[in-house]
């Protein structure tokens, strides 16, 4: 049985919605302290109301794409407020369905900012020895099955997620001597506002229409959160630099 102490503090980005929200609630339920980051203040407040241990759920409203170069200093400021971190679940992200004909640099940059540049620079802040606990520290990044597969119109999104997987592997090697672990998870279709609002509206696809691709249907946020929390915990202390596909039995 996985459990944490309130002395173990985890940054969770994207905590206001979907997968990140589920990770924040589960970590909190299992005893950890959570520094929950998101842009939407109302949804963050809702997260705290839902938390099993609200006294260990700390809310930080932050647009991670606003000053990406400043993110290492931002992590330091969080350390000064809350203490050294036991890790991070980087769950913030956006999608973007852009066929090449409509693509321009501004659109590419918007998706890379939050899906690739921000997690790398948050990590730069977190791996600073002054900001983490050293051995036992673990980071998990939500990449996507689109890092491995090809979907029409998803060239940029796929690029951000494949880039993240590759970079996290390399960084895992850099930080192993500090006792820090890092891994990626690569989900396929999960029922969150991202898919239900954006993907379904743009493509007209429903869960039923995709039963031939996803034998177990679309996933719930908890299906991904369980894996992330395992990888953050000491139960995974032998695992680093890996990419875990969570794909409803699509079997690539």
Q: Which residues contact ligand NAP (rule: CB under 6 A)?
A: 14, 16-20, 38-40, 43, 63-65, 91-95, 114, 142, 144, 187, 189-190, 192-195
Sign of the Cα torsion 199, 144, 76, 83 reads positive
Between residues 14 and 87, which has the closer beta carbon with respect to ligand NAP? Answer: 14
Query: Closest CB to ligand NAP among 192 and 240?
Result: 192
Q: In the structure, how many helices (H) and strands (E) does the chain have?
A: 9, 7
* Dist CA 122 CA 30 (whole Å): 24
Least distance CB 190 / ligand NAP (angstroms): 4
- Using left for φ > 0, alpha for ψ between -120 and 50, and beta otherwise, residue 191 falls in beta
**DSSP assignment, residue 128?**
S
Question: CB 1 → ligand NAP: shortest distance, Å?
Answer: 26
Least distance from ligand NAP to the Cβ atom of residue 66, Å: 7
H or E, element range at 13: strand 9-13
Least Å distance, CB 43 to ligand NAP, is: 6
Helix (H) or strand (E) holding 139: strand 138-142
Q: Tokens in use for 1? A: 């049985």
Considering beta carbons, is residue 33 or 195 the nearer one to ligand NAP?
195
Place of tokens 């989900």: 187
Q: How far is the CB of 214 from ligand NAP (least distance, A)?
A: 10
**Nearest to ligand NAP of 163, 187 (CB atom):** 187
Name which of 93 and 236 has its Cβ closer to ligand NAP.
Answer: 93
User: Please, which residue, 226 or 234, has the CB nearer to ligand NAP?
Assistant: 226
How many CA atoms, within 13 angstroms, populate the side-chain half-sphere of residue 152? 3
Least Å distance between CB 178 and ligand NAP?
26
Distances (CA, A) of 13 to 2, 62, 171: 21, 9, 19
Beta bridge partners of 38: 61
Q: Which two three-digit tokens encode residue 221?
A: 């946020």
The SS3 assignment for 76 reads helix
- Residue closer to ligand NAP, measured from CB, 192 or 233: 192
User: CA-to-CA distance for 36 and 3, rounded, in angstroms?
Assistant: 19
Supply the minimum distance, in Å, between the C-beta of residue 233 and ligand NAP.
20
């Amino acid at each position: 049985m996985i459990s944490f102490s309130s002395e173990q503090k985890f940054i969770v980005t994207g905590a206001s919605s979907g997968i990140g929200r589920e990770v924040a609630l589960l970590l909190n339920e299992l005893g950890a302290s959570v520094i929950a980051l998101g842009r939407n203040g109302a949804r963050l407040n809702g997260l705290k109301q839902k938390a099993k241990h609200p006294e260990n759920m700390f809310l930080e409203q932050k647009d991670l794409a606003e000053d990406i170069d400043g993110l290492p200093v931002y992590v330091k400021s969080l350390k000064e407020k809350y203490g050294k971190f036991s890790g991070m679940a980087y769950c913030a992200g956006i999608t973007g369905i852009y066929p090449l004909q409509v693509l321009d640099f501004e659109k590419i940059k918007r998706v890379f900012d939050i899906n690739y540049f921000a997690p790398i620079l948050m990590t730069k802040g977190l791996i600073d020895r002054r900001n983490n606990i050293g051995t036992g520290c673990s980071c998990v990044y939500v990449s996507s099955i689109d890092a491995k597969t090809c979907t029409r119109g998803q060239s940029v999104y796929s690029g951000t997620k494949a880039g993240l997987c590759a970079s996290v592997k390399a960084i895992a090697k850099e930080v192993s001597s500090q006792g820090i672990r890092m891994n990626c998870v690569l989900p396929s279709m999960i029922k969150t506002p991202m898919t239900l609002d954006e993907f379904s509206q743009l493509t007209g696809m429903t869960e039923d229409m995709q039963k031939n691709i996803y034998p177990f249907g679309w996933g719930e946020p908890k299906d991904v959160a369980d894996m992330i929390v395992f990888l953050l915990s000491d139960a995974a202390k032998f695992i680093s630099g890996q990419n875990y596909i969570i794909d409803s039995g699509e079997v690539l």
